[in-house]
Amino acid sequence: MKTVIMVPTYNERANIAELVKLLHKHLPQARILVVDDSSPDGTFEEVKKLMRRDKRLQLLLRDRSVKGRGWAGRDGFVRALEMGADAVVEMDADLSHQPRFIPSLLAPLAAGKADVVIGSRYIPGGKDMDRPFHRQWTSNFARHYLKFVLGLKVKDPTSGFRAFSKKALEKIKAGTLAARDPFTVSEILYRCYRADLRVVEIPIEFVDRARGQSKLGLPTLLKYLGRAFLLRLGPDPLS
């Protein structure tokens, strides 16, 4: 399978070189596509520097005026398909998603047993980082709510560490994804269910980011719950 690892970045200069190194170690054949929204910390300059000696690394540089995790991912999926990918992995750059798990994310796709594979923290063998009690409670509530409202059958609907077959990205019309922000993770999974794709989970261990800034707070999370409800009530996104 021709695999492209698609990594949206915003201010990940402290992490990107280490991530690229680990990706090459665990997936020597795969190509890496960094989708950077002209990060003020110059993440894209670091990527350009690495690209001089690295033919497997590519950069999609977007304008900061259209910045957003969702739109970056959407454009990244489109570019990955243009690069000829049979499988596309999306992951965070902050090393919370560990490259060592990618071979097991890709295995069900390669075996033709799934269209979408989710790296899951909440199935046996999976692990989340230790969060304070109130954060644990909020995140458990969010995932049960999302499962219920959007009719998702997975244990970890908010995981952004996932692999998609080419067919899956075509079927969900990845180029038309609407959410500009991290709500995209739910929007994509909802479309996968609407498209009757085969979604499976494999266990991953999630670790907290060690470097760089965190971006998602409680008010944002609450807004997402409202948007999930609207998404479910709205028109079929695939028609």
Ligand X SMILES: Nc1nc2c(ncn2[C@@H]2O[C@H](COP(=O)(O)OP(=O)(O)OP(=O)(O)O)[C@@H](O)[C@H]2O)c(=O)[nH]1
Query: Which residues are near Mg ion by CB under 5 A?
Result: 92, 94, 96, 209
The reply on whether position 239 binds ligand X by CB under 6 A is: no
| Closer residue to Mg ion (CB): 155 or 209 | 209
The reply on whether position 216 binds ligand X by CB under 6 A is: yes
Tell me the closest approach of the beta carbon of residue 222 to ligand X, in angstroms. 15
Strand partners of residue 199: 116
From CA 2, how far away is CA 85, in angstroms rounded? 5
Binding partner of 67, given ligand X, Mg ion, none, CB within 5-8 angstroms per partner class: ligand X
Q: Which backbone phi and psi does 69 adopt, to 5 degrees?
A: -55, -40
Nearest one of 113, 73, 110 to 90, comparing CA atoms: 73
Strand partners of residue 231: none
Binding partner of 72, given Mg ion, ligand X, none, CB within 5-8 angstroms per partner class: ligand X
Binding ligand X by CB under 6 A: which of 23, 72, 81, 149? 72
Binding partner of 194, given ligand X, Mg ion, none, CB within 5-8 angstroms per partner class: none
Tell me the closest approach of the beta carbon of residue 125 to ligand X, in angstroms. 21
Tell me the closest approach of the beta carbon of residue 111 to ligand X, in angstroms. 28
Binding partner of 69, given Mg ion, ligand X, none, CB within 5-8 angstroms per partner class: ligand X
Neighbouring residues of 224: CB distance < 8 A, sequence distance ≥ 6: 142, 182, 183, 186
Structure token pair of residue 160: 């952004």
Mask of contacts with ligand X, 75-114, x by CB under 6 A?
-----------------xxx-x------------------
| Closer residue to ligand X (CB): 33 or 197 | 33
The answer to whether the beta carbons of residues 95 and 15 sit under 8 Å apart is yes
Tell me the closest approach of the beta carbon of residue 78 to ligand X, in angstroms. 14
Segment 1 to 40, residues that bind ligand X, using CB under 6 A: 8-10, 12, 35-37
SS3 204: coil
- Long-range contacts of the stretch 23-28 (C-beta < 8 A, 24+): 23/99, 23/102, 24/56, 25/99, 26/99, 26/100, 26/102, 26/103, 27/3, 27/99, 27/102, 27/103
Which residues lie near ligand X (CB under 6 A)? 8-10, 12, 35-37, 67-69, 72, 92-94, 96, 209, 214-216
